[in-house]
Structure formats: C-alpha cells, structure tokens
Copies of this chain bind each other. A is one copy, B any other.
Amino acid sequence: MELLKEKILKEGSIVGNDILKVDSFLNHQIDVSFLNEVGKEFKKRFNDVKIDKILTIEASGIAIASIASQYFGNVPVVFAKKSESKNLDKDVYETNVYSFTKGKEYSVKVSKRYLNEGENILVLDDFLANGRAALGLKDIIDQAGANLMGIGIVIEKGFQEGRELLQKNNIRLESLAILESIGNNTVKFR
C-alpha cells in the first residue's frame, strides 16, 4: 500500500534495529482519514471471503478494526482484552501470549458471548512481529469453534518470524506493508 509506505517514511521513527514507531498516525495519535484508506485496502484484500465479525486486540487494534468494519458492512468488532478486568464476564475464552517487548506472558481473553461457533472471523492488528499475539487470537477462535478467515496486518516486520509461524499454521496473511529491515536508521520495504 503506497500511501502507508509514504506515511512510514515520512512520519515513522526507528528505535534501535527492530522498533518502528508510528505514534503519529497509528499507535497514539490516530489519522482517521488514513485509517479509512487502510479499511478500504483490507476489504480489497479479503473481498473473496464472507466476514461475520472482526476480532482485534486492545489497544491499537481497536481504531483499525472499527474503521475497517465500515467497509465490511459494519460487522461487529470484538476486541480481546489483555489485562485482568473486573467487569469482564467470567465466562471467557482465554490464552496466554508471550510478549517479547515486555519480556513476560500476558493473558488474552474474549467473552464467550461474542464469538460463536461457525462464525467467519477476520483478525486485524497494527503490527506482526513474532506472531505470538496472532496465534493467541487463532487459539481463541478455535476454542469458540469459529473460522479464522485470515489475518490482516498494517505493518509486518518481515525480518521476524511471524509470517513463517502463521504459514505453518495454515493462516492466510495479508500485510499492507512489509518491512525488510529497519537497521541503520533506514526503512527498507520488501
């Protein structure tokens, strides 16, 4: 997606050799016009499958999924919760995900009310790195007996193992931009 690549080159900043910060339009401040273009692009990529619901994970995935839903007939969006929440249903699908950024495991939960057997689920998220969060969401979808139709990612870190891991698990992956490398303060796309 050319517009995304331009945004990354213009507004992204690199920290070390593996962190790309896109706080100005995706992870802290949100560019809503731009997210509408992202939503259109996801619809184009997944236009061949019927989607009943979009699943994402708090917090950065929420804006992406909500805006994108408008291009999928306003299907419901469900966001998986990362932290212990007093108000969440006790009756949840749950999985553990290891975060390399935080150096620890966290629990991801979705209430059983909002994922149903046989539903066609599209997972959308901001980044794909090592693929652990994506696999966690697949685990939750499997527990519900729903169908994971594919995973749409805004920015894939092509130099990490996420794609390989998802392919091993026969998961369809559509990334709008794939980073080949982000070392030496230079972004290279695949």
Contact = CB atoms under 8 A, between A and B. Distances in A.
B29 A76 contact: yes
Contact of A111 (B23, B79, B114): B23
Interface stretch (A64-72, A149-157, A164-172, A181-189): A64-72
Contacts of A86: 101-102
A5 interface: no
Interface residues of A, number: 41
A106 to B, nearest CB: 11
Given A63-B62, A113-B23, A88 B28 contact: yes
A108 to B, nearest CB: 13
B78 A29 contact: yes
A32 B78 contact: no
Nearest to A55: B29
State the number of copies, please. 2
A132 interface: no
Contacts of A29: 76-78, 111, 113-114
A58 B19 CA distance: 22
Contacts of A76: 29-32
A78 B60 CA distance: 11
Contact of A66 (B27, B32, B78, B89): B32
Contacts of A35: 66
A62 B76 CA distance: 15
Contacts of A23: 87-89, 111, 113-114
Interface of A: 15, 19, 21, 23-24, 27-33, 35-36, 58-59, 62-63, 65-67, 69-70, 74-79, 81, 83, 86-89, 101-102, 110-111, 113-114
